[in-house]
Structure 1
Amino acid sequence: MNGMVYKENYRGKEESSDEREIETLKMEKKQSEVMEQLVKQASASPNANALTSILVQATSHPNVFSFSQFLALPNLLQLEATENSTYLDMLRLFAHGTWSDYKSNADCFPQLIPDQILKLKQLTVLTLAETYKVLPYNQLMQELDMTNVRELEDFLISECMYSGIVRGKLDHLRQCFQVQFAACRDLRHAQLGSMIQTLSNWLSTSENLLVSIQEKIKWADAMSEIEKKHRKDVEEKVQEVKSLIKANINFGGNEDICSESLSVMDYEDFGRLKRRRKILF
């Protein structure tokens, strides 16, 4: 038995790419609906206490993994420089940070409830999966504060792959998680320049590829026209040869008829000549 345990599909059977795509679309739709509802509630919050309550709800909700829409709300400014400013820091932590970031600065944030701790550990896996395609178990256990492989694998299966935020393979023999897909986290402002450059490079590569494809299409069209002309010339020559052969056949038939007529005439003339000789003698 090999050490590669296939866990991409939590139902116990391998899904097709179409099935995975459908599941991903369903998950994204559900997340979008929840996000829209929570953002509306946050934007209409009458005071800071109501707003912080919604932020706690958003950062602990099982279907919310993006927080940029909350950070863009104008009424979040009312939390700045107040006793509730730690909730704004908490929101930024969930948008860009990891479990290690929280542990290093726990005094700067409100005390997290269990669902928030779970969410932050899920987001930590996403951060690692964005950077590395192979995640060693010892690195994951250290980042997530887990003490054994069984606990880690159960977490990856039930809390990460089951929720649809990552897909991959658990390699128990090599003690690593091979990432095949990971949902994206919110971008930091400092990452925008790099992202724009990456997209610009992709656009330039796509444009060059398009030009190359168009040139190949033109070349193929030109070769097609040459092939058509060549085929037409060959067909015309074939017809010409057929006509010549037919003409030669017809001409040869007429020669045979003429030869037969001459032979008959010679025979008749020879007979008349013999009769004349008999009369003379």
Structure 2
Amino acid sequence: MDQVHTRAMEALQPFIHLTKSSSATSPRFVANIITNATTSPHTYVFAELLEQPAVQALQSPDTPAELRGYLTLLKIFAWGTWQDYQQTPDLPSLNEEQARKLRLLSLLSLAATIKPITYEILIKLLSLSAPSDLETLVTAAIYASLITARLSPATTPPTVNVTSVAPLRDVEPTSLPTMISTLTAWESRCGSVINDIEAEIAKIRADSAQRRTKEHARVVVIEKILAGWNPETAEASLLPEPIARGGSRKLGWKPRDIGAAFKNRDFFGGSNKREFDDDGYFDEHADEFEPIESGMDIDEAPGSRVGGLSSQGARHAKRFLGKKL
């Protein structure tokens, strides 16, 4: 679509150069330039031609009345429609090419403002006599890259589905204040949205910083706990209280015996369901077990003491430890 606008601007340049020639002082010569520019098949923008002093001079009181209408005609080709031409009096008549050009330009404006655009509306606004004339005009606009559209004559009602319009219509100067007001309101809404987004970003960053602070404090606490942890003290806390207070030495236990006790979780009421049997484990259904021959030499005579234990204490230790110890 941008290439179409570029070609249209290039097609207008020869007519602009003519308005700067010495002959442009003649109102009729300028009127002929306007007629040729609006008839040319590749010219669709006319604002630059309108700005030329020779063209603006047509509104002078010295200009013949029959030639003043050419300036108004050029304005209609720049930003007007076919209806504007029909409703404006004292305008020059159009040749066939000019009429086709103005209908094409009007189609661009209507396609950008009316949704959906039906056959009935276009036939009425463009003063066409039959649907076939409309289809011919729309097809010409499509092949000229003025619009991207699809004809749907079988729908109810028949429609012209326009998806894009080339930027070939000029802007009327009197519409600029309205456009500026609309753009200002849009800018204000955009600014409000940006402020909301920035506030949300700030909140997310604050929450993230707070989470990092809590995580850092947790890590510091864990590091302090690990720094004061003593493996030997922690292991003693897992032993039965008599053993933790040195009872293992009183019972004649050696370090390897304590290690074996740690390996058997049933010793501490763990989840291991195995009991010593004849090989040194409990019988599963036995409430009490008989002493099993131990490698320890203990005198069981009444009142005798072995290793600082009475015979009763020795029997208890023998029963408790079993052959596996």
Q: Superposition pairs for residues 63-212 of structure 1, below 5 Å?
A: 63-80=42-59, 81-82=63-64, 83-105=66-88, 108-109=91-92, 111-156=93-138, 158-172=139-153, 173-174=155-156, 175-182=158-165, 183=167, 185-212=169-196
Amino acid at match of 1:165: L
**Does structure 1 conserve the Cα–Cα contact (< 8 Å) formed by 2:252 and 2:307?**
no
Partner Cα separation in structure 2 for residue 208 and residue 264 of structure 1: 83
Structure 2: runs of 5 or more not aligned? 255-295, 298-304, 311-325
Q: How far has the Cα of 1:67 moved from its partner? A: 1.7
Partner Cα separation in structure 2 for residue 94 and residue 179 of structure 1: 21
Structure 1 residues 224 and 29, CA gap change in structure 2 (3 angstroms): farther
Aligned to 2:19: 42
Q: How far has the Cα of 1:105 moved from its partner? A: 5.0
**Does structure 2 conserve the Cα–Cα contact (< 8 Å) formed by 1:168 and 1:181?**
yes
Larger radius of gyration: 2
Aligned sequence identity (%): 23
**Does structure 2 conserve the Cα–Cα contact (< 8 Å) formed by 1:97 and 1:124?**
yes
Aligned to 1:6: none
For the residue of structure 1 that corresponds to 2:45, the secondary structure is coil
Q: Which has the higher contact order (CA 8 A, sep 6+)?
A: 1
Amino acid at match of 1:25: D
* Residues 1:225 and 2:209 aligned together: yes
Partner Cα separation in structure 2 for residue 228 and residue 154 of structure 1: 69
- 1:30-67 per-residue CA deviation (whole Å, 9 max, x = no partner) reads 23333445434433463235433432232133333222
For the residue of structure 1 that corresponds to 2:229, the secondary structure is helix
Partner Cα separation in structure 2 for residue 28 and residue 139 of structure 1: 27
Tell me how large the CA RMSD over aligned residues is: 3.5
Q: How many pairs align?
A: 247
Structure 1 residues 55 and 238, CA gap change in structure 2 (3 angstroms): farther
Moved more, 203-212 or 29-38: 29-38
Tell me which of 28, 32, 35 is aligned to 2:9: 32
**Does structure 1 conserve the Cα–Cα contact (< 8 Å) formed by 2:69 and 2:90?**
no
Q: Normalising by structure 1, report the TM-score.
A: 0.71
Q: How far has the Cα of 1:272 moved from its partner? A: 9.8
* Residues 1:60 and 2:27 aligned together: no
**Does structure 1 conserve the Cα–Cα contact (< 8 Å) formed by 2:16 and 2:49?**
yes
Q: Normalising by structure 2, report the TM-score.
A: 0.63
Structure 1 residues 159 and 238, CA gap change in structure 2 (3 angstroms): farther
For the residue of structure 1 that corresponds to 2:170, the secondary structure is coil
* Residues 1:235 and 2:219 aligned together: yes
Amino acid at match of 2:125: E
Structure 1 residues 78 and 190, CA gap change in structure 2 (3 angstroms): closer
For the residue of structure 2 that corresponds to 1:91, the secondary structure is helix
- 1:226-249 per-residue CA deviation (whole Å, 9 max, x = no partner) reads 2222332343344455x27x9354
